[in-house]
């Protein structure tokens, strides 16, 4: 399995990191020597300096033997040209390309056709907006992933001191959760991932991941004391690409939305394009303006400017002034744990969204979808149990799954089963597996999914 | 630096080193000689020592490795290999003191081939095999071997690899470091197997063929005979050894590409052309100065000239003729070859042709810019510009190498060693060659060097093998600071 990544920025770096940890052959191309050095020194991947759009560089990187090309430079044009030459040099290689410009995205179908034949176009902002929408539907959660066409939800919630379950052992919790088919699949405690057993206790500050059927998701939040009022009033700070896309999406909900942007020309453009959203001209860090616009009665303040440090400060300010929740846009992955520590639960990152989407497509084949968890120590995979696989036809407790992997749900036709040790898996069942990053290669083996990356 | 984590990894390496001692034990058992008990003792102590180190410091497992720790593991790992590798000689009573045992062991691992063993034929074969095996393990690198087959490291592999295979521009044959290390070892094993078969066809038994293969492919130089390869006095064996010494002196990345079916791999590489060109020029010069003066026949001139020139430039150190009896031009050429060394990415030592070639290009560029002050010039390698920082590090390495050579020669002379011997012994140790001139010439060995001098040369050999920085950094206080 060989993957060529064009672009050693934050997205390229993190994809390379994840894949190299899974023992895949990864080659990274970038023009910038400093960015490349970071890759070469920290990761077990091959780093080549040069322009990723150059066919010579692509050949040198071994594109002809590569299964996948991931073009994720900051420049759409470079990504397009890299995909173009990849298609010429090696048409069978699967091409994933990050495209952000609206003018290109409006012709998405054309890019899927020859001469480009890009298999997957990733628009990070659109992915981020999708993620935010998921959170809007479950206001208490800090992370939401959907599986089996949305029938199963993986929900991340942060436990605080007054949650009714804080201090309870999981085994005692089982009575209450069993009837609703809710499973605590993982605990993220102090940035360490625990796949829990019945004896584990839930503590304040834990980020726990629940697996639940969609119809029970609200009940699940209630059991864990996170049943929040739905969002009715939202203030967006920053009318850039992401702010605009989110505002546009929110017009489809019964939500009153305001948007603050400090550039006049941009405001005019936004006002033209948006119908229900109130566009305000001003600086989001201006306390007077925030008070004027009733920030204290807001359900959610989303700070989405290009400058992440500003976002963090405005989010803190808004929360301090009384806003119920804040959603903060972060670009640097290394800030993610820090931001949770200072009390900003809801984080959106278009880059993280892009990484997740790309990983999901890389795992195509028998794996249907995937979700990377916060802190990045684990992934949730959805797969079909093959008849030939080792996992079929015996109780789960006897399946030779590696440490750190757990079957959290079985979907058989219309039925969703939250398994116990005795449950068995039948052929053609769809199973959802929670796996620590290190165990993923073994999980793939156990599934007999010689993952058909094509 | 996290010393605990470093020592944990050094412990694992030591443990596996103990396992490799089983091979000489097999020969010892087969020949029923007195090496069996000392080897058994050494295996036990090395295994136990490695196990203890790794278990005592087990707590630090699973962390990622920094650049600094990578160098620490490699430097301390090599020191540990030298120490534990000396145990069989010590318990076998091969030498009178531990210093001599350590000298022989480090000389083996660093593929120097400088010996303090005077009666080679009298020594038990188990010890001789271990002596040659240390060459072979050290030739491609004990860390590279570890990366290829041991499950010791994941993420820190690159740091370790760079610390053991520094080179001006390390080749990466495969995206993953484990695969790269594996490929290098496969090529190494393949070439070694080929040479063993060819040497056996020339009349050597398995034991001798293996020992000399290890000495050749690792560019080491330990022989099982006092008179080295010269003892066989066979043109066939000379030819086989010449060819494989050349192979060992070429970048292994090129062997790999060639074996993969890229027929032009060698000739396209500018360092290869430079290396072969230098070998050809020196070979011709030495041949002409020998013909008619030392040897009457052209055939003998060619045979002995080719063997000695290639043996020294690849830093192997096998001899078939006492070149100290030769005129002074060939001797000076051989001394120069000691500094030059083989190709980057080979098992050979010295300063490496790649560096010398780039330094020459850079110097020419300087002169060119005096003539055309406005010319925009770049040093290129294989059509690609060489980054400035690589150029700077090569100059730095050059200065360090020469500085180290001068300082060590001063120290050796201060211990009462004569001029020629001081210079040649240091050059032959840093360059990992083995035989030098004077008291350490091809017909003599290092046994007469004073005790302190032997320790100095031990250090020189390690510095030379790990390209100076990795060892030298241990003596910088900042390295140990937390």
* Alpha carbon distance A135, A146 (integer Å): 11
pLDDT band at A451 (very low <50, low <70, confident <90, very high): very low
Residues B155, A41: C-beta atoms closer than 8 Å: no
Tens digits of per-residue pLDDT, A27-59?
999 998 888 888 887 888 888 888 989 999 999
Nearest to B155 among A26, A33, A44 (CB): A44
Mean pLDDT of chain A: 83
pLDDT band at A454 (very low <50, low <70, confident <90, very high): very low
Give the pLDDT score at B63.
Answer: 59
CB-based contact A71:A79 (threshold 8 Å): yes
Nearest to B158 among A23, A27, A41 (CB): A41
Q: What is the DSSP letter of B58?
A: G
Residues B154, A44: C-beta atoms closer than 8 Å: yes
Residue whose pair of structure tokens reads 């780039």 in the numeric block: B358
Give the pLDDT score at B64.
Answer: 67
pLDDT band at B297 (very low <50, low <70, confident <90, very high): very high
Give the pLDDT score at B61.
Answer: 55
Residues B178, A46: C-beta atoms closer than 8 Å: no
Tens digits of per-residue pLDDT, B41-69?
999 999 999 999 988 887 655 556 777 88
Averaged pLDDT, A104-114: 86
Substitution target in B175, B177, B260 with the highest count of A β-carbons within 10 Å is B175
Residue whose pair of structure tokens reads 């495209």 in the numeric block: A99
Tens digits of per-residue pLDDT, B269-292?
899 999 999 999 999 999 999 998
Distances (CA, A) of A142 to A131, A146, A327, B294: 10, 14, 10, 87
Nearest to A44 among B67, B157, B387 (CB): B157
Give the pLDDT score at B379.
Answer: 87
Nearest chain A CA: its distance from B356 CA (Å): 24
Better-scored residue on pLDDT, A408 or B19: B19
Partners of residue B157 in chain A, C-beta under 8 Å:
44
Residues A23, B172: C-beta atoms closer than 8 Å: no
Tens digits of per-residue pLDDT, B62-91?
556 777 888 888 999 999 999 999 999 999
Partners of residue A42 in chain B, C-beta under 8 Å:
155
Q: Over 50: is that where the pLDDT of A91 sits?
A: yes
Give the pLDDT score at B4.
Answer: 84
pLDDT band at A165 (very low <50, low <70, confident <90, very high): confident
Q: Over 80: is that where the pLDDT of A272 sits?
A: yes
Nearest chain B CA: its distance from A403 CA (Å): 16
Give the three-class secondary structure for B380: strand
CB-based contact A448:A390 (threshold 8 Å): yes
Nearest chain A CA: its distance from B19 CA (Å): 28
Give the pLDDT score at A235.
Answer: 93
Residues A25, B155: C-beta atoms closer than 8 Å: no
Q: Over 70: is that where the pLDDT of B199 sits?
A: yes
pLDDT band at A449 (very low <50, low <70, confident <90, very high): very low
* Contact residues of A toward B, CB < 8 A: 2, 20-21, 23, 25-27, 33, 40-46
Nearest chain B CA: its distance from A43 CA (Å): 6
A77-86, A405-414, B158-167, B402-411, range with the lowest pLDDT: B158-167
A125-134, A247-256, A354-363, B100-109, range with the lowest pLDDT: A354-363
Averaged pLDDT, A206-233: 81
């Amino acid at each position: 399995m060989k993957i060529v990544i064009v672009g050693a920025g934050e997205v390229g770096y993190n994809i390379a990191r994840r894949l190299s940890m899974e023992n895949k052959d990864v080659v990274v191309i970038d023009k910038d020597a400093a960015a490349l050095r970071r890759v070469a020194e920290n990761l077990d991947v091959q780093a080549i300096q040069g322009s990723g759009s150059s066919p010579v560089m692509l050949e040198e990187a071994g594109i002809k033997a590569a299964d996948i090309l991931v073009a994720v430079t900051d420049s759409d044009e470079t990504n397009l040209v890299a995909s173009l030459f990849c298609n010429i040099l090696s048409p069978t290689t699967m091409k994933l390309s990050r495209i952000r410009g609206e003018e290109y995205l409006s012709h998405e179908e054309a890019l899927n056709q020859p001469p480009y034949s890009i298999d997957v176009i990733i628009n990070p902002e659109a992915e981020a907006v999708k993620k935010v929408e998921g959170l809007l539907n479950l206001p208490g959660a800090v992370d939401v992933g959907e599986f089996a066409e949305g029938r199963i939800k993986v929900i991340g919630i942060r436990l605080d001191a007054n949650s009714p379950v804080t201090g309870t052992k999981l085994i005692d919790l089982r009575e209450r959760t069993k009837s609703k088919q809710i499973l605590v699949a993982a605990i993220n405690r102090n940035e360490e991932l625990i796949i829990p057993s019945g004896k584990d206790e839930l503590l304040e500050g834990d980020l726990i991941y629940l697996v639940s059927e969609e119809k029970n998701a609200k009940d699940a939040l209630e059991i864990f004391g996170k049943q929040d009022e739905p969002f009715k009033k939202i203030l967006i700070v920053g009318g850039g690409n992401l702010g605009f896309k989110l505002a546009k999406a929110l017009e489809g909900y019964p939500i009153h939305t305001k948007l603050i942007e400090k550039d006049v020309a941009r405001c005019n453009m936004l006002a033209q394009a948006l119908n229900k959203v109130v566009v305000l001209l001003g600086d989001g860090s201006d306390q007077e303006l925030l008070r004027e616009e009733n920030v204290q009665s807001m359900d959610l303040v989303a700070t989405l400017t290009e400058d992440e440090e500003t976002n963090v400060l405005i989010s803190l300010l808004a929360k301090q002034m009384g806003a119920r929740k804040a959603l903060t846009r972060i670009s640097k992955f290394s800030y993610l744990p820090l931001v949770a520590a200072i009390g900003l639960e809801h984080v959106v990152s278009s880059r993280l969204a892009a990484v997740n989407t790309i990983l999901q497509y890389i795992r195509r084949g028998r794996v249907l979808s995937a979700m990377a968890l916060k802190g990045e120590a684990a992934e949730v995979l959805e797969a079909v149990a093959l008849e030939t696989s080792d996992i079929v036809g015996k109780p789960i407790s006897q399946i030779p799954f590696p440490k750190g992997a757990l079957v959290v749900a079985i979907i058989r036709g219309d039925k969703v089963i939250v398994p116990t040790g005795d449950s068995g898996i039948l052929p053609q069942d769809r199973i959802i597996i929670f796996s620590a990053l290190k165990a993923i290669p073994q999980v793939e083996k156990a599934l007999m999914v010689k993952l058909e990356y094509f | 630096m996290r010393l605990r984590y470093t020592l944990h990894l050094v412990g694992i390496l030591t443990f596996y080193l103990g396992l490799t001692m089983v091979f000489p034990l097999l020969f010892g058992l087969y020949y029923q000689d007195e090496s069996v008990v000392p080897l058994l003792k050494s295996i036990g102590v090395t295994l136990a020592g490695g196990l203890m180190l790794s278990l005592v410091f087990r707590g630090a497992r699973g962390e990622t490795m920094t650049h600094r720790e990578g160098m620490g593991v490699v430097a301390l790992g090599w020191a540990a290999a030298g120490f534990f590798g000396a145990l069989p000689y010590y318990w076998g009573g091969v030498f009178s003191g531990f210093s001599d045992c350590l000298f022989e062991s480090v000389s083996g691992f660093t593929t120097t081939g400088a010996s303090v063993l005077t009666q080679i034929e009298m020594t038990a074969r188990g010890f001789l095999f271990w002596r040659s095996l240390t060459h072979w393990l050290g030739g491609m690198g004990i860390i590279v071997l570890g990366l290829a087959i041991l499950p010791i490291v994941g993420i820190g592999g690159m740091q370790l690899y760079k610390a053991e295979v520094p080179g001006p521009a390390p080749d990466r044959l495969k995206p993953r470091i484990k695969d790269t290390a594996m490929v290098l070892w496969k090529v190494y094993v393949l070439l070694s197997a080929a040479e063993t078969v060819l040497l056996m066809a020339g009349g050597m038994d398995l034991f001798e063929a293996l020992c000399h293969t290890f000495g050749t492919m690792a560019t080491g130089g330990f022989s099982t005979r006092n008179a080295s390869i010269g003892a066989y006095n066979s043109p066939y064996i000379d030819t086989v050894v010449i060819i494989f010494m050349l192979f060992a002196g070429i970048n292994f990345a090129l062997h790999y590409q060639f074996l993969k079916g890229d027929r032009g791999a060698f000739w396209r590489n500018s360092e290869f052309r430079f290396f072969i060109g230098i070998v050809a020029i020196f070979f011709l010069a030495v041949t002409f100065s020998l013909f008619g003066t030392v040897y009457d026949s052209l055939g003998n001139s060619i045979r002995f000239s080719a063997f000695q020139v290639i043996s020294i430039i690849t830093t192997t150190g096998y001899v078939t003729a006492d070149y100290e009896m030769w005129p002074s031009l060939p001797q000076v050429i051989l001394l120069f070859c000691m500094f030059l060394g083989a190709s980057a990415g080979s098992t050979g030592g010295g300063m490496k042709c790649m560096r010398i070639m780039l330094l020459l290009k850079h110097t020419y560029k300087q002169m060119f810019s005096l003539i055309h002050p406005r010319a925009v010039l770049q040093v290129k390698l294989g059509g690609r510009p060489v980054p400035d920082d690589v150029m700077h590090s090569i100059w730095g390495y050059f200065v360090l190498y020469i500085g180290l050579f001068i300082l060590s020669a001063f120290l050796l002379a201060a211990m009462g060693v004569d001029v020629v011997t001081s210079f040649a012994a240091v050059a032959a140790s840093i360059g990992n060659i083995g035989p030098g001139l004077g008291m350490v010439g091809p017909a003599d060995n290092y046994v007469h060097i004073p005790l302190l001098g032997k320790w100095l040369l031990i250090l020189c050999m390690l510095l030379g093998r790990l390209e100076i920085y990795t060892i030298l950094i241990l003596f910088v206080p900042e390295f140990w600071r937390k």
